[in-house]
Structure 1
Amino acid sequence: MIQRFIELGEGYGDFYELLELATSNKNRIYRFIQIETTINKQKRVSLAVVLHPAAQGGFMPIYFCREGISIKSGQSSKRITQFSELATQLQQDIRQLEVRPSVDFPDPELYKQYLIGILRVNHCLPPLNW
């Protein structure tokens, strides 16, 4: 099985595309994930939807919007609320993790490999021999 991130972007349009991907693939949803980090003393959130592998090919996509939501202390975000509402509607829990920021890595692919390792260790992704 191949597990790979598909990055959508950081904007509102990208976020709404993530919601649409989850809605249109509701029968394939494996997990909703909220990944938190801190960049320059600012809390940032990435949102991800993991789908079960397609019937053919064994490809498990992880669609995500990387560090596109900034959170001020004591406040919430409308996008996080919408993500949570969709997860509830689709009868999914949201796994929350705190990780190192992508700026700590010289290459975006190294960051994605790091995240896959973190997600596997925290049972947010199945092992490769699943």
Structure 2
Amino acid sequence: MIQRFIELGEGYSDLYELMEIAKSNQHRLTHMLALHTAAEDRAMTSLVVILAPTSPGDFQPLYICREGIPHPEHSASQRFNLFLQAAKALNKEIIQLEVKHSKNFAEPALYYQYLMGILRLHHYIPPLN
């Protein structure tokens, strides 16, 4: 199985694409996540949509808008509220996790490996075969 993060952007206009991916693939939608982090006294959130693996091919995409949305507990965010509404419409709970900031890693690929480990540990994505 191949599991890969696909970064759409930081969650400005690309948040609408993330929600459209969830809606148009609701038959494959497994989880919707909010990954909270802090760096330089700024609390930010990444929003993630996880789809089931393709068949055939065993490719599992994890679409992400990385660290561009204010943490919902620290400031009111219309974009986070839109994501909440989309989750409710799709009968999904938003899974919220605290993670390290991507700046703690030398490159994005290492950050995404870190996130994969966390998601596998919590059984949000299956282990590699």
Q: Normalising to structure 2: TM-score of the pair?
A: 0.94
**2:24 is matched with which residue?**
24
Tell me the distance in 1 between the aligned counterparts of 2:89 and 2:7. Answer: 24
The residue that corresponds to 2:9 in the other structure is: 9
Q: Deviations over 1:50-84 (max 9, x none)?
A: 00011210000000000011237643211111111
Asked if 2 retains the 8 angstrom alpha-carbon contact of 1:42 and 1:72, the reply is no
Q: For residue 58 of structure 1, what is the aligned residue in structure 2?
A: 58
- CA positional deviation for 1:13: 1.6
> 1:12-91 alignment to 2 at 5 Å?
12-71=12-71, 74-91=74-91
1:96 maps to 2:99:
no
Comparing 99-108 with 5-14, greater Cα deviation is found at: 5-14
Runs of 4+, deviation exceeding 3 Å: 71-74
**What CA distance in whole angstroms lies between the structure 2 residues aligned with 1:111 and 1:67?**
12
Q: Would the alpha carbon gap of residues 73 and 20 (structure 1) be closer, same or farther in structure 2, given more than 3 Å must change?
A: closer
Taking a change above 3 Å as real, the CA distance of residues 52 and 40 of structure 1, as seen in their structure-2 partners, is same
Query: Aligned to 1:27, what secondary structure does the other structure show?
Result: coil
CA distance in 2, matches of 1:11, 1:54: 25
% identity of equivalent residues: 49
Size of the aligned set, in residue pairs, is 129
CA RMSD of aligned residues (A): 1.3
| Offset from partner CA, 1:19-75 (integer Å, 9 cap, x none) | 111111111101001000001011000000000011210000000000011237643
Normalized against structure 1, the TM-score is what? 0.93
SS in 1 for 2:50: strand
With 115-124 and 68-77 compared, the bigger mean Cα shift is at: 68-77
Spell out, residue by residue over 1:74-130, the C-alpha distance to the aligned partner (whole angstroms, 9 max, x if none).
43211111111111111111111001000000011000000000111122212224x
SS of 2:47's partner is strand
